Structure 1
């Protein structure tokens, strides 16, 4: 069994004289270059969160502008927003990325620039973190770069920028980082990775609640695989201790978010989405689910139409699930990888589970 260090440093495609720093630098440059295929308008001063129909343009921008102006004027995050209805709690009613690090950008630059830059940075990090995760799994440099760019440019990531769904983009970027830190903690027995994982969990929750709890389920499956089924797990792994530390990291991460979560829990009974409100019930909860007919958009993004031409069953739809033929074909080829069959099975079953 290879040691933790040898697994992390495996570089099948790199020549013996090429340094890992150069590998990582080249990979980052490719992720940045791929992102700039879509991000170049920001270099000319344009905003990347869509037109008059985008959620960011309609509401999110004003939330963030109010928060930034209040902080710069008073030196504190506002507790109350008097400009909505008869007034709303600012923190409790979830006015965007209040405690997420991107909020700091709005204290030092114009709000529209800060929002655009925050999303652009995460767009690049989506590919970079995926690349680093794949390298830690022992994949070749070529395979890892392809995986990073493919995930970075997939529709469910890239299309979040148009409506300004920055929170979803944040969690999409953090997802491979979360899997990577948990891999380091369990397979590579790096204790400090549990602390890093706790911090990542906090970022997930502060980024966007909805994708965060789905991601936590996926990470739970990943932890069980690493402890019980991973052929490269340490021979002396203690399932109770390892899963216990992973759970403690999740609890600590959620505890870090208490400054946002506790006010939100107190506000929930007064929300229109609380029990008995207009936005409740099974019908509402599933109204934005992926209709089975739109599975074809994984290969053909215009199958159900895009934006004004959308004719599917969702009430509104600003994103696409498009992945493209090449990434799906490469994923299918993984079925023949006997060396990583268990890994392919757990990822495939998880993908099918979350698709359902």
Structure 2
């Protein structure tokens, strides 16, 4: 009971991470509204014929169209199939039929997707988003505490992560992304604990060698109280494997690749730090290396429920080899996009349909662009939202720069952390 009492503040902090998501998405959870952009449907028949009578004009945000014409259709099909007592392996409603569960982005293997089965779909998207933003905050808080941050600092890190521009914008249209992103802090935390355990085992062995004569004169129970017992890595290997499995089942393979890359870089950096940049220290890094390898392997095995059929499906996908390497390189952000790190609306906003006339103060709707072509929003030049959104927020950028600066001025541990995350960014 005493051990539980020391975590009571953490319990309240974990509950506190619900506050920001509910403030951001209160209308679509507690307010009776929906995240589904139904107005986008009125661009096509049969809905288009009723648009005028219902007073529906241009969509509020055409960029989030996929949520209603794609993701909603997936969830509805899966829901109907499961509730009918069947498994949605095959979708007969596209062309002559296509594999369904193998495709992945439906996220139906992801445990949090149970919300789409037990709640009306119009409400499920809001609560799912809140659950994932809450999870992002909690897992970043856990990672901060593992790094030795105070509760207040770790709480601020969690708030910043769960409210970052990228994850909030992704929530508007890509449930599979907002489900995949929260798990990275937990995975980094598990890597950190495995490496820390290896370091403490090395230190513990050194202490034991120095005190072996004295310890041999004591009872076994007394010896255990006088010498530190290194923490077993098994718990963190299991947690990391489950976290990686959940990340995979969330259903966005690109973010799985990004996650594995960051995990690999972080793990390699921490192992190098354990060895002390000396060949003699390599022996101390062997055990954590195999522990981390086991964590990743087990995680991939847990995610293989989705990975294996996805690989088989991708091998026969019509998009295979449809783009050259140069085409893919062309998808990279242009240099001018760096402006949107500070000014997300510099190239316009697809949800802004009016502008204020600076002479008379009236709001004027967008009707045409400079060339006289029809245009109903302010977006120009670049797709700077959804997939193109890189705005994190002023607070995250400020805290990142502050962390790098203070870390550099601190001791070796903080300095190395600042160098790693600064370089990663």
Contact 2:194 2:291 (8 Å CA) reproduced: no
Distance 1:211 1:110, change over 3 A: same
| 1:194 partnered with 2:237 | yes
- The aligned counterpart of 2:401 is 332
| 1:46 partnered with 2:55 | no
- The aligned counterpart of 1:203 is 246
SS at 1:197 equivalent: helix
Unpaired runs of at least 5, structure 2 = 41-61, 198-230, 351-376
Q: How many residues were matched structurally? A: 328
Q: Give the Cα–Cα distance (whole angstroms) in 2 for the partners of residues 213 and 153 of structure 1.
A: 23
CA offset digits 1:148-168 (Å, max 9, x no partner)? 1111111111111222x0111
Contact 1:61 1:112 (8 Å CA) reproduced: no
CA offset digits 1:177-212 (Å, max 9, x no partner)? 211222222214532110111111111112111011
Contact 1:97 1:206 (8 Å CA) reproduced: yes
What are the residue-to-residue correspondences of 1:1-356 with 2, within 5 Å? 20-41=6-27, 42-51=29-38, 52=40, 53=62, 54=64, 55-74=66-85, 76-163=86-173, 165-188=174-197, 189=231, 190-207=233-250, 208-229=252-273, 238-275=284-321, 277=322, 280-286=323-329, 288-307=331-350, 308-314=377-383, 317=386, 320-334=389-403, 335-337=405-407, 338-339=410-411, 340-351=414-425
Contact 2:170 2:386 (8 Å CA) reproduced: no
Q: Give the Cα–Cα distance (whole angstroms) in 1 for the partners of residues 346 and 184 of structure 2.
A: 28
Q: Give the Cα–Cα distance (whole angstroms) in 1 for the partners of residues 243 and 153 of structure 2.
A: 25
Q: Give the Cα–Cα distance (whole angstroms) in 2 for the partners of residues 231 and 248 of structure 1.
A: 20
Distance 1:336 1:103, change over 3 A: closer
State the Cα distance separating 1:109 from its structure 2 match: 2.3
State the Cα distance separating 1:64 from its structure 2 match: 1.1
Distance 1:85 1:94, change over 3 A: farther
State the Cα distance separating 1:284 from its structure 2 match: 4.5
SS at 2:109 equivalent: coil
State the Cα distance separating 1:231 from its structure 2 match: 9.9
Contact 1:181 1:194 (8 Å CA) reproduced: yes
Q: Give the Cα–Cα distance (whole angstroms) in 1 for the partners of residues 385 and 238 of structure 2.
A: 39
TM-score, with structure 2 as normaliser: 0.71
Q: Give the Cα–Cα distance (whole angstroms) in 1 for the partners of residues 348 and 341 of structure 2.
A: 13
SS at 1:44 equivalent: coil
Q: Give the Cα–Cα distance (whole angstroms) in 1 for the partners of residues 331 and 30 of structure 2.
A: 34
Segment drifting more, 263-272 vs 203-212: 263-272
State the Cα distance separating 1:110 from its structure 2 match: 1.9
Q: Give the Cα–Cα distance (whole angstroms) in 1 for the partners of residues 105 and 158 of structure 2.
A: 31
TM-score, with structure 1 as normaliser: 0.84
Q: Give the Cα–Cα distance (whole angstroms) in 2 for the partners of residues 219 and 194 of structure 1.
A: 13
CA offset digits 1:34-90 (Å, max 9, x no partner)? 22221111212222244524211111111111011101102x421110101221011
Contact 2:344 2:384 (8 Å CA) reproduced: no
Distance 1:90 1:173, change over 3 A: same
State the Cα distance separating 1:322 from its structure 2 match: 2.1
Distance 1:248 1:87, change over 3 A: same
- The aligned counterpart of 2:212 is none
Q: Give the Cα–Cα distance (whole angstroms) in 2 for the partners of residues 343 and 120 of structure 1.
A: 30
Q: CA RMSD in A?
A: 2.6
